[in-house]
Structure 1
Amino acid sequence: MTLASLAARALAPLALSAAVALSAAAPARALDFKNMTPDEKAAFGEEVRAYLLDHPEVLVEAIDRLKAKQAQQQVQNDANLVKANAKAIFEDPNSWVGGNPNGDITLVEFMDYRCGYCHKAYPEVAQLLKTDGNIRFIVKEFPILSDQSVLGSRFAIAVLQLNGPDAYAKAHDALMKMRANITDASLAALAGKLGLDAEAIKARMDSPEVTKVIADNHALAKRLGINGTPTFVLGDQMLRGYVPLAQMTEIVKEVRAN
């Protein structure tokens, strides 16, 4: 939301409050806005305008309060969405589970292999899981950026379905570290490097089973209002975008405390 739109939303209640304050000494009839004459309304408007021009800091304060109120509402809305979709988020049998499978809290990441911020978050999430040691980690394959994103996710999901979670972990790590284009050739080379059957994986990539996983993740993301990567779910919170390691560590502490 732009500053101009925030100002517009904040201005209406502020103007009314200022008008009431400025007219405290006016006759009671002047406070009955429905029965104001056009001249009285115009006079009110001029008083409010003059007050705001003399005290612009009041408008800044109103905008800050509006932002805080919107942020609080977003947190509550996110908590409601997480609760309503908890089974699909935390108990999906088709998503890879890493970290400590028996951890006391769960961190879920919606990610895309061509997402620059996912690449930036990748080593920090790994560090968090290693340092903490008690976080269950779920990866939601959520390719949204390009055809290469879809190709990478189809490969990773196919590896999971054919070769199991350990093979997926290696494939996922390799794809997150890959800077070259994701192509059929580069994926075949990666499969060979990991000791996997490239032809079997390629055949599986276009299967209904793989397509369903991606479709289900997209449907879940839509219900949660997720339209970018990375997006994390931690406790009942949704963290939309890259979160630095120090901040993520503090959020983990807060979730545990609650």
Structure 2
Amino acid sequence: MSFEMRRAVFSLVGRVRPILIPCLILGAFVLWGMFELRATEDRVAAVARVLAGSGPRSGIDADLAVDLSEGFEARIRDYLLRHPKVLREALDPRRLARLALEAKGDQLLDEAGFPVVESSDGQTEPLVLVEFFDYRCGYCQRFFPAIEQALDRASRGEGPNLRFVAVEFPILGPDSERVARLALAVRALDAELYVEVHSDLMGPDGPQDYSETGLRKWAEGRAWAVGLDLDALFESGLSSPTVDESLEAARMWAAEIEVTGTPFFGVRGPGGWMFDPESAASPETFARLLERASGSS
């Protein structure tokens, strides 16, 4: 391979690597554009491997019978200028979130260790509902009764079995992080208490003052706090390594699957993962998302 061709290949790979998912999508459309330019099937496959960063560079001589000179890049640029919708669709945040969830959602469940609440008869595989939430998010509070209802219906055999994965994702400032740390610190002491804490924090009797003093006063009157050492909880529990790791895992996975706001819902059913941004529009659209994921509509 000539030096100029190698330089063009490495330049192209270097530019696309920082934005891998958009690059993969863009690569598909580049293949389409090359087909219009009467490229052969072998050439198309080779370019796809280069754009994805997955093809061995040592094999480029044999596989890449395509001119990757400045003329080739100019043709890509010309195609995108003539079809700007292609780039908009490729970089649509909602599309990227869905693709990322499909690619990495199972890994999230297997590795992250987020709190899980399950209502299942043990006979059929449950739907998996993942929610990224913030306790101070009004929309998250609004959706909480719908989630409780879905879990209750599952427990009574009136709806699909459901596994709820709660991802603490405090994005509304220090107060949000403080209250998330409280919930996670209680969970670290007694995992079974997490459901009660979560329900109280999301419910109508949740705290009004999110300062440490306000949360401490609020916690003193809650049933789940009976028997807990609240002094130790607030002095060291909120800043424990376990709590830090949980919040860091949430931030990492939010970045991985393009979560930028709350609430964010993803559902895994028999047909795989589903992401529908409209599901966060109302509790009714959320319920329809669960129905579609279960195959009942």
Global fold match (TM > 0.5): yes
What is the aligned partner in structure 2 of residue 184 from structure 1? 212
Which residue, 99, 106, 125 being the options, matches 1:80? 99
State yes or no: 1:232 paired with 2:269. Answer: no
**For residues 32-70 of structure 1, what are the alpha-carbon distances to aligned partners after superposition, in whole Å with 9 as ceiling and x for unaligned?**
xxxxxxxxxxxxxxxxxxxxxxxxxxxxxxxxxx7xx94
Which residue, 159, 169, 175 being the options, matches 2:195? 169
Please give the alpha-carbon distance, in whole angstroms, between the structure 2 residues aligned to 1:188 and 1:139.
23
How far apart are 1:92 and its partner, in Å? 4.2
AA in 2 matched with 1:138: V
TM-score calculated relative to the size of structure 2: 0.57
How far apart are 1:249 and its partner, in Å? 2.4
How far apart are 1:80 and its partner, in Å? 2.8
- The share of aligned pairs that are identical, in percent, is 25
What is the aligned partner in structure 2 of residue 250 from structure 1? 288
Which residue, 220, 231, 234 being the options, matches 1:199? 231
How far apart are 1:88 and its partner, in Å? 4.1
AA in 2 matched with 1:221: A
Q: Residue 163 and residue 190 in structure 1: after superposition, are their counterparts in 2 closer, same or farther (change >3 A)?
A: farther
Larger radius of gyration: 1
User: Which shifted more, 125-134 or 104-113?
Assistant: 125-134
How far apart are 1:74 and its partner, in Å? 6.5
Q: How many residues align?
A: 191
Which residues in structure 2 correspond to 1:48-67 (within 5 Å)? Answer: none
Unaligned runs of 5+ in 1: 1-65
Q: Residue 243 and residue 168 in structure 1: after superposition, are their counterparts in 2 closer, same or farther (change >3 A)?
A: same
Which residue, 114, 129, 132 being the options, matches 1:107? 129
Unaligned runs of 5+ in 2: 1-84, 156-160
How far apart are 1:161 and its partner, in Å? 0.8
What is the aligned partner in structure 2 of residue 62 from structure 1? none
Which residue, 230, 249, 253 being the options, matches 1:220? 253
TM-score calculated relative to the size of structure 1: 0.65
Q: SS at the partner of 2:187?
A: helix
Please give the alpha-carbon distance, in whole angstroms, between the structure 2 residues aligned to 1:183 and 1:239.
35
Q: SS at the partner of 1:91?
A: helix
- Does structure 2 conserve the Cα–Cα contact (< 8 Å) formed by 1:142 and 1:217? yes
Please give the alpha-carbon distance, in whole angstroms, between the structure 2 residues aligned to 1:239 and 1:89.
18
For the aligned residue pairs, the C-alpha RMSD in angstroms reads: 2.8
How far apart are 1:209 and its partner, in Å? 1.8
Superposed structure 1 runs of 4+ greater than 6 Å apart: none
